[in-house]
């Protein structure tokens, strides 16, 4: 088929936009830096391959000092390396990318159905709800998000001891939002020890709103309980220590600001431990070549805990603080072309007020992807949550999503997804069909 005969097809696909949320990240600047395909690190942006995960854990550098032989865009030296021997009498030299490490993501979507993203009164992770229909019910179709969102992404290494990531979203849930921005210090020069400072997603559950195939539709990471504004993701402000030990043990320990602007001096503390059995090591070293970038046979197990305090605010007034304890376990498995993620979380709230009542929330999440080929693969996801107050079960709800993903080019992804679910203690029903195309460059 000639290129001219493909033009109508391209025009049709160009009218569609992606299921991807504003928080979904791809950094084609890395492809420019190493002159390699996005598929080196991504199954489909922003979902990572095992090598892409090792690259992320190594502060956006090739594992094992691989940058020296793989980097095609030589960094700009800031000072003479010999100055390091004179520190602090002289300023320690550094590096920065020679070119601007900036990528642009253009996406949007078309949605059809009685409950677009937001799923009724519950809202999504940003509190979005289904759009009201002046003729009754909710919006059945919307083209309002076609081409409505642009994301600016910058990330890169600042020499052997530091890296950075910054993300600004334009036209998403907010007109302009600094979605993430942090400095990552690596005093040992590898994945053994990292210190993140700034606005980031805490390392908790082994799945991420920023690195998932289905975008930002995770009750797991975005759901709040009652009037408490606490949610560990999509981002928090603070500091986190993390690293990889013996190649297969991952750990994280951090402290971030409390939610809700309460008056307590106490901050949130969290930690995570994980172990990966089989497949590529977490640090990317001593890897064996596989048939495809995503293929391996591995099981990763993780556990996390989060303890903090959130301010309960109503009518602009701070009423009292509420202690939050969150604990979870997770499993991530790859068996050649099958990818599985599962998470279970228990979250309890204890108000620091004499008339307050204890409450709790249980959350479960499971996702399966079949890599039918490098360019096409379906994903099925099921999320469930239940809240309780004073020990009595209150509400349960669920959301099921089936999505087909097609990688049309290395940096162009087409997605079509169907959602069904139930509001608290309601009946299951069809929610929406979402179709779209996303491109990053």
- As given in the structure block, the two tokens for residue 220 are 């797991």
Mean pLDDT of all residues in 395-408: 92
Q: In this predicted model, what pLDDT tens digit does every residue of 61-109 receive, in sequence order? A: 888 776 655 666 677 777 777 887 888 888 877 777 777 778 888 887 8
Q: Where are the alpha helices (DSSP H) in 94-177?
A: none
Q: In this predicted model, what pLDDT tens digit does every residue of 135-182 receive, in sequence order? A: 344 556 666 566 667 888 888 888 778 888 898 888 766 778 888 899
- pLDDT score at 382: 94
Q: Are 201 and 212 in contact (CB under 8 A)?
A: no
pLDDT at 27 over 70: no
- pLDDT score at 67: 67
- pLDDT score at 258: 78
Least confident of 117-126, 217-226, 290-299, 311-320: 117-126
Q: In this predicted model, what pLDDT tens digit does every residue of 312-339 receive, in sequence order? A: 777 777 778 888 999 999 999 999 999 9
- pLDDT score at 126: 34
Give the span between the Cα atoms of 208 and 229, in whole angstroms.
Answer: 19
Banded model confidence at residue 131, pLDDT cuts 50, 70, 90: very low
Q: Which domains does the chain have, with CATH numbers?
A: 10-440 (2.40.160.10)
Q: Where are the alpha helices (DSSP H) in 15-165?
A: 28-34, 50-57, 67-70
Banded model confidence at residue 16, pLDDT cuts 50, 70, 90: very low
Buried b (16+ CB within 10 A) or exposed e, 134-151: eeeebbeebeebbebbbb
Give the span between the Cα atoms of 292 and 33, in whole angstroms.
Answer: 22
- pLDDT score at 368: 97
Buried b (16+ CB within 10 A) or exposed e, 276-291: beebbbbbbbebeebe
Across all residues in the chain, what is the average pLDDT? Answer: 79
- pLDDT score at 346: 95
pLDDT at 270 over 50: yes
* Percent of the chain's residues with pLDDT above 90: 31
- pLDDT score at 124: 36
pLDDT at 117 over 90: no
- pLDDT score at 291: 80
Q: What are the start-end ranges of the E strands in 158-267? A: 162-170, 176-185, 194-200, 236-245, 249-256
Give the span between the Cα atoms of 414 and 406, in whole angstroms.
Answer: 5
What pTM value is reported for the model? 0.82
Matching residue, tokens 């990688």: 407
- pLDDT score at 24: 37
Q: In this predicted model, what pLDDT tens digit does every residue of 193-239 receive, in sequence order? A: 999 999 998 999 888 878 888 765 566 777 888 778 888 877 889 99
The DSSP-derived string for 39-69 is GGTEEETTEEPHHHHHHHHTTSS-GGGTHHH
Compare 276 and 209 and report the one with higher pLDDT: 276
Give the span between the Cα atoms of 308 and 438, in whole angstroms.
Answer: 37
* Percent of the chain's residues with pLDDT above 70: 79
Half-sphere CA count of 377, side-chain side, radius 13 A: 20
- pLDDT score at 254: 96
- pLDDT score at 255: 93
Sorted by sequence, the CB contacts under 8 Å of residue 184 that are 6+ apart come out as 59, 162, 163, 164, 165, 194, 195, 196, 197
Compare 234 and 33 and report the one with higher pLDDT: 234
Banded model confidence at residue 116, pLDDT cuts 50, 70, 90: low
- pLDDT score at 339: 97
């Amino acid at each position: 088929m000639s290129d001219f005969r493909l033009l109508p097809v391209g025009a049709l696909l160009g009218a569609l936009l992606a299921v991807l949320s504003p928080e979904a990240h791809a950094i084609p600047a890395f492809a420019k830096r190493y002159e390699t395909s996005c598929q080196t690190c991504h199954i489909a942006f922003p979902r990572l391959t095992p090598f892409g995960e090792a690259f992320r854990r190594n502060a956006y550098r090739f594992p094992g000092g691989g940058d020296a032989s793989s980097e095609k865009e030589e960094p700009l030296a800031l000072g003479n390396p010999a100055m390091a021997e004179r520190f602090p009498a002289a300023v320690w030299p550094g590096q920065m990318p020679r070119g601007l490490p900036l990528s642009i993501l253009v996406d949007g979507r078309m949605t059809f159905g009685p409950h677009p993203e937001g799923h009724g009164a519950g809202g999504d992770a940003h509190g979005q709800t289904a759009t009201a229909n002046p003729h009754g019910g909710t919006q059945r179709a919307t083209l309002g998000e076609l081409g409505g969102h642009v994301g600016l992404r910058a990330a890169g290494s600042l020499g052997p001891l530091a890296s950075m990531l910054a993300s600004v979203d334009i036209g998403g849930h907010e007109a302009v939002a600094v979605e993430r921005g942090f400095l990552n210090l690596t005093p040992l020069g590898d994945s053994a020890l990292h210190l993140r400072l700034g606005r980031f997603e805490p390392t908790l559950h082994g799945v991420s709103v920023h690195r998932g195939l289905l975008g930002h539709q995770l009750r797991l990471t975005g759901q709040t309980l009652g009037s408490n504004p606490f949610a560990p993701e999509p981002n928090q402000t603070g500091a986190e220590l993390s690293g990889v030990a013996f190649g297969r043990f991952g750990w994280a320990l951090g402290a971030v600001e409390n939610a809700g602007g309460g008056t307590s001096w106490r901050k949130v503390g969290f930690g995570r431990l994980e172990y990966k059995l089989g497949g590529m090591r977490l640090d990317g070293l001593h890897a064996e070549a596989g048939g495809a970038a995503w293929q391996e046979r591995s099981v990763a197990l993780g556990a996390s805990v989060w303890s903090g305090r959130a301010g309960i605010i109503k009518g602009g007034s701070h009423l009292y603080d509420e202690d939050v304890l969150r604990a979870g376990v997770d499993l991530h498995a790859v068996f050649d072309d099958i990818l599985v993620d599962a998470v279970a979380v228990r979250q309890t709230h204890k108000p620091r007020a004499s008339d307050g009542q204890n409450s709790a929330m249980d959350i479960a999440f499971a996702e399966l992807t079949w890599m039918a080929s490098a360019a096409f693969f379906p994903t099925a996801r099921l999320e469930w949550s239940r809240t309780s107050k004073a020990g009595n079960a209150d509400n349960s709800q669920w959301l099921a999503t089936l999505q087909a993903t097609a990688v049309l080019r290395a940096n162009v992804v087409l997605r079509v997804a169907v959602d069904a679910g139930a509001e608290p203690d309601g009946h299951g029903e069809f929610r929406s069909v979402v179709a779209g195309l996303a491109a990053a460059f």
